[in-house]
Amino acid sequence: MKSVLGAIACAIGFALTAPAWGQLSAVVAIEPTARKNGLLLSRHGMEEQLGKLLNQPVNVTTTEDLTDAMRATRSGGYDVFIAPAQVVASALAHGYELVGSTDPSEHYLLVGRERLASTADMRKGRIYLPQQDSIYTYMARGMLTSSGLSFKDLRTVEFARYPQAGLTAVSLGLSDATVIRRSEWDAFARENPGVAKVLASSGAVPGGFSVAVRKDLPPEVRAKVSKWFATSAGGVGLKPVAMHSELSQYKAVAQLGTFTPTHLPGATVVSAADVQQLVAKGAVVVDTRNEKEYRAKQIPGAVFVPYHEKSLKDVAYDAKADDFAGLDKLDAAKPTVFHCNGAECWKSYKASRAAIERGFKQVYWFRGGLPEWEAAGLQVLKPDVVAKR
């Protein structure tokens, strides 16, 4: 009897001390322009060392498909991401926490031929980019979007292997622009004055591999994994994860890839304070979000005219795929302010463009939308809350 009770006690003790999760999964997403870093890394070594540390099976996958890796951040496909900054930036927005990065932060520049006055002059131009899934291409797309351009607005988008070759293509007149790291540009500009110019710059981007772990892993597991990456990763060919870039840098990287342009030809981009003044002068504020969002909270006096969006979140979206029939109810003669859920929400951008095309003469785009309005401490109505009282 004692032996049975002892066995039960041991089983209960093991159940209480053993991790609630099963096999730890990790993915190494390799930047296409830095394959050497991925080749130096021992997947089996990482599995063995982390498995021994955690006393638990560990499965490590490697991939060069960054599009698939980005998709996995949204679905929680892995417990640990070892990946370029844009992938980890997405993970941080979907239930992961930052461990750090292997290299210092760096800036990416959109560099164009000397004759180009601004990024807007890139329309119908040619751009050379190193590999479609690379951090360079991700940065290029974001910088073009900020200026109201899409890859579809360019005449030619050429993807090749080596980042530095883009500067050669620009200098030879084979391409109008490329994206390069600031350190690479500084060296080129010193040796080739007057050949090209900087059209746009990203903010600081964490370099090398960044590492993120799931927030819902047991605290002791997260602590052990984080410490291993900081102190022992060199044993499997990965630089120690010693850099601790500001979370704001990752947020900026994520925004660059998903946010709306910063301006819109034909419309005036306004702030919360501007909207207050416009309303005082009789402007109409149009809320383009869905009904549930509108009923939860709204700007006082805002008119509900939803923009039903099915098109891509891109400046070259197909408006025919969307439904904005409510525009017919608005008076084109009145100054009209369109807004939605902030700079990452494309509905008000698309609604503003529809109004411009329809002939509205005074179109105001409140890009910051309701989040900016709330952040400014301005009054917000909550109809659903009032109805429940």
CATH numbers and ranges of domains, the chain: 2-103+206-258 (3.40.190.10), 108-201 (3.40.190.10), 268-388 (3.40.250.10)
CA atoms of 104 and 4, how far apart (whole Å): 58
Instruction: End-to-end CA distance of the chain: give it in Å, rounded.
Output: 61
- Whole-prediction pTM: 0.74
- pLDDT band at 161; cut points 50, 70, 90: confident
Distances (CA, A) of 105 to 207, 236, 249, 310: 5, 23, 9, 36
CA atoms of 318 and 346, how far apart (whole Å): 13
pLDDT at 288 over 50: yes
pLDDT at 2 over 50: no
Contact between 288 and 306 (Cβ < 8 Å)? yes
The residue whose two tokens read 């301006």 is 263
At residue 384, the pLDDT reads 67
- pLDDT band at 388; cut points 50, 70, 90: low
At residue 254, the pLDDT reads 85
- pLDDT band at 146; cut points 50, 70, 90: confident
Three-class SS of residue 31? coil
pLDDT at 9 over 50: no
CA atoms of 220 and 201, how far apart (whole Å): 40
CA atoms of 9 and 74, how far apart (whole Å): 41
At residue 21, the pLDDT reads 53
| Full DSSP string of 294-349 | HHH-B-TT-EE---B--S-SSTT--GGGSB-GGGGGS-TTS-EEEE-SSTT--HHH
At residue 245, the pLDDT reads 72
What are residue 290's phi and psi, to 5 degrees?
Answer: -85, 170
274-284: average pLDDT: 97
297-306: average pLDDT: 97
353-381: average pLDDT: 96
The residue whose two tokens read 């006055």 is 117
pLDDT at 11 over 90: no
- pLDDT band at 6; cut points 50, 70, 90: very low
What confidence tens digit (pLDDT) does each residue in 166-180 have?
999 999 999 999 999
At residue 8, the pLDDT reads 39
Q: Residues near 180 by Cβ (< 8 Å), separated by ≥ 6?
A: 108, 109, 111, 136, 163, 164, 166, 167, 188
Contact between 344 and 258 (Cβ < 8 Å)? yes
Spacing of C-alpha 298 from chain mean position = 26
What's the whole-number average pLDDT of the chain? 90
CA atoms of 357 and 300, how far apart (whole Å): 27
Query: Pick the residue with more confidence: 56 or 19?
Result: 56
134-152: average pLDDT: 91
CA atoms of 214 and 24, how far apart (whole Å): 10
| Full DSSP string of 102-129 | EEEEE-EEEEEETT--SGGGGTT-EEEE
Q: Please provide the size of the chain in residues.
A: 389
C-beta atoms surrounding 247 within 10 Å: 12
Contact between 133 and 64 (Cβ < 8 Å)? yes
Own/partner long-range contacts of 301-304 (Cβ < 8 Å, ≥24 apart):
302/339, 303/330
